[in-house]
């Protein structure tokens, strides 16, 4: 096992009954409660699939790929942890079955098991424990909250549960288990049922784990009889160890909802934690500000594949949605976001005028050529009609293409991602990346994670960031082609930020416009409720000023 962290307490969050009930938000909220009390908190996400990272998975099926500072492509829950804990979560805090097996196999090849037979048990759980402790040490955590993906009773996560069980056996006072379960209300009965949760607790018992707490997710608040029933049948210490977690309007209210039920004090007692009863009110103040916001901003998000239903959409672009919310609340506004499939503009060009009814337009990241012409016409409309515009990654690249086509008159301007043989490659690819694509080396090879950026003085961007040097997170393969830089600048599209190490264009803006900014990076990954992102702030301010 690797080095021991400083007397860290470990809270495992496990799922029962079904997925999609908000285990990630519960994990993040537990962490926030301890953070509010002044502890150093970090969080870990364990994903049971074989993929080494989330980068090769379809975001419409699996949710957003969240990029960490240190270049990892992780699960969207890691974004929730960063937003709730207001801290960077590193690659070490993310593991998958594939990643765990890969390191065990690499160690075996390097003779690190010293001639032993390497076995699924105990070597895989031991590797998991080593990673958990290394992450706690690196974060210098007092409390580490660990979310195990999937639900109990599944074949896939059994070895992670075994690791948790082994940790508990070693240090019973340092490990607690929280089962997040779902209580359905069948339509024909109209009452909340506890039985599936009882079965989930039994399934967990079969893995040698007794839950210390049950977080009862459901549409409504849990009543007293059901609370008692769950505590009794699931062998909890008292009914207070059942925490009710009804649906809420806003996820950021959950830490307070938990605190009302004394969740952090009970967890602290269970873990024999030197409990700090004091509390910082920064989070509460933010929640109050959020609830008091009464202006409205109407944001249109234009992209492809938006026709797949709200559920997947919200998951695929969660960081963009949250960044818009953070900036809106900080400006006293509630955002109303409308998702527009760009292919609609290709099929019905007159529809583009509908964009006039919005306070601002966002084009988020994306890949491939579907729906691109529709997006470009939306960007043109926003530029010409002075609608505030924020382009994120692909949204920046397409804004430069639009400008080259319609202002510089380079009708064939394109990205080589869309047209490999274009005569005007405004967006091109460097030889290293071209080689990756040619050899099918897709996993983990994009330009990823934090890169420096130097801002150009006297730009709107520099004014918003209030500093000269920034660092932002990336996830893309293609880049702005510097051959076109001078021409674009002299026609009014200014380069507002450049990566100094490689002279890459990172930000463009149009000065003669209320707000028109495109970033090669993804600012949404660094927006936090307690510190909204400067560029989203700029966009929302301009959106409010437009007053539609």
CA pair distance 71, 522, nearest whole angstrom: 13
Q: Phi-psi bin for 444: left (phi > 0), alpha (psi -120 to 50), beta?
A: left
**Site for ligand GLN contains 442 (CB under 6 A):** no
Nearer to ligand GLN, 405 or 475 (CB): 475
Binding mask 356-385 for ligand GLN (x = CB under 6 A): ---------xxx------------------
Which residues, 6 or more positions from 451, have their beta carbon under 8 angstroms from its beta carbon? 471, 472, 473, 474, 499, 501, 506, 521
**Sign of the C-alpha dihedral, residues 188, 191, 196, 199?**
negative
Q: Which of 343, 472, 506, 524 is catalytic?
A: 524
Please, which residue, 270 or 475, has the CB nearer to ligand GLN? Answer: 475
Phi/psi-derived region of residue 43, left when phi > 0, alpha when psi is between -120 and 50, beta in every other case: beta
Residue among 405 and 474 whose Cβ is closer to ligand GLN:
474
- Give least dist CB 394 to ligand GLN, A: 4
Phi, psi of 229 (to 5 degrees): -60, -50
- DSSP-derived secondary structure letter, 501: T
For residue 524, indicate whether it is catalytic. Answer: yes
To ligand GLN, the closest distance from the beta carbon of 393 in angstroms equals: 3
Is 393 an active-site residue?
Answer: yes
- Indicate the residue among 385 and 445 with the shorter CB distance to ligand GLN: 445
Number of shown-chain residues binding ligand GLN (CB under 6 A):
10
- Nearest distance from C-beta of residue 478 to ligand GLN, angstroms: 3
Residue whose CB is less far from ligand GLN, 81 or 478: 478
> How far is it, in rounded angstroms, from Cα 438 to Cα 367?
17
Chain positions 198 to 217 lying near ligand GLN, rule: CB under 6 A, are none
- Among 428, 476, 522, 533, the one annotated catalytic: 522
Residues from 462 through 521 that contact ligand GLN (CB under 6 A)? 475-478
Residues numbered 389 to 418 that lie near ligand GLN (CB under 6 A) are 393-394, 417
CA distances in angstroms from 353 to 49, 321, 379, 382, 392, listed in the order given: 45, 24, 12, 10, 22
Kindly report each contact of residues 198-202 with a partner whose C-beta sits within 8 Å and lies 24 or more positions away, as own/partner: 198/230, 198/233, 198/234, 199/17, 200/16, 200/17, 200/151, 200/152, 200/153, 201/16, 201/233, 201/234, 201/235
Catalytic, 522? Answer yes
Window 307-346: contact mask with ligand GLN (x via CB under 6 A): ----------------------------------------
The answer to whether the bond into 280 is cis (omega within 30° of 0) is no
* Residue from 393, 472, 506, 513 carrying the catalytic annotation: 393
Which residues form the catalytic set?
393, 522, 524
Would you tell me which residues interact with ligand GLN (CB under 6 A)?
365-367, 393-394, 417, 475-478
């Amino acid at each position: 096992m690797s080095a021991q962290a400083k007397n860290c307490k470990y809270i495992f969050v496990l799922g029962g009954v079904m997925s999609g009930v908000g285990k990630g938000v519960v994990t993040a909220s537990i962490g926030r409660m301890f953070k509010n009390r002044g502890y150093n908190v970090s969080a870990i996400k364990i994903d049971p699939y074989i993929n080494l990272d989330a980068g090769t998975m379809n975001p419409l099926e699996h949710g957003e790929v969240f990029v960490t500072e240190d270049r990892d492509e992780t699960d969207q829950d890691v974004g929730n942890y960063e937003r709730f804990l207001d801290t960077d979560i590193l690659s070490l805090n993310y593991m998958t079955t594939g990643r765990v097996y890969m390191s065990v196999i690499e160690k075996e090849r390097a003779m690190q098991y010293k001639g032993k037979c390497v076995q699924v048990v105990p070597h895989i759980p031991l590797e998991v424990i080593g990673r958990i402790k290394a992450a706690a040490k690196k974060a210098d955590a007092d409390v580490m909250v660990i979310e195990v993906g999937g639900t109990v009773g599944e074949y896939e996560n059994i070895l992670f549960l075994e690791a948790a069980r082994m940790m508990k056996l070693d240090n019973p006072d340092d490990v607690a288990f929280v089962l997040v379960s779902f209580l359905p209300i069948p339509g024909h009965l109209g009452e909340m049922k506890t039985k599936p949760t009882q079965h989930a607790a039994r399934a967990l018992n079969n893995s040698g784990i007794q839950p210390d707490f049950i977080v009862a997710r459901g549409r409504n608040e849990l009543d007293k009889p059901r609370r008692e029933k769950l505590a009794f049948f699931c062998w909890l210490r008292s009914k207070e160890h059942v925490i009710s977690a009804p649906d809420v309007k806003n996820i950021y209210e959950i830490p307070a909802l938990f605190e009302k039920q004394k969740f952090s004090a009970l967890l602290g007692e269970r873990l024999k934690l030197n409990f700090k009863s004091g509390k910082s009110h920064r989070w509460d103040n933010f929640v109050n500000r959020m609830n008091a916001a009464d202006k409205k901003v109407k944001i249109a998000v234009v992209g492809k594949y938006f026709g797949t239903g709200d559920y997947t959409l919200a998951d695929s672009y969660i960081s963009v949605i949250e960044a818009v919310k953070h900036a809106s609340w900080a400006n006293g506004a509630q955002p109303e976001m409308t998702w527009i499939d760009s292919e609609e503009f290709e099929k019905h060009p007159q529809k583009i005028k509908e964009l006039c009814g919005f306070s601002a337009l966002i084009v988020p990241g994306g890949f491939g050529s579907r729906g691109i012409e529709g997006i470009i016409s939306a960007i043109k409309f926003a530029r010409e009609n002075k609608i505030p515009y924020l382009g994120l990654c692909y949204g920046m690249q397409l804004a430069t293409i639009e400008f080259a086509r319609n202002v510089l008159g380079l009708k064939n301007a394109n990205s080589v991602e869309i047209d490999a043989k274009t005569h005007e490659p405004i967006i091109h690819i460097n030889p290293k990346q071209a080689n990756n694509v040619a050899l099918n080396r897709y996993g983990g090879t994009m330009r990823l994670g934090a890169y420096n950026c130097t801002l150009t003085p006297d730009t709107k961007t520099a004014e918003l960031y209030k500093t000269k040097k920034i660092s932002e997170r990336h996830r893309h393969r293609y880049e702005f082609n510097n051959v076109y830089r001078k021409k674009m600048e002299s026609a009014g599209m200014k380069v507002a930020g450049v990566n100094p190490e490689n002279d890459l264009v990172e930000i463009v803006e149009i000065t003669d416009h209320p707000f028109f900014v495109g970033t090669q990076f993804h600012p949404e990954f660094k927006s936090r409720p307690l510190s909204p992102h400067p560029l989203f702030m700029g966009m929302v301010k301009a959106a409010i000023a437009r007053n539609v």
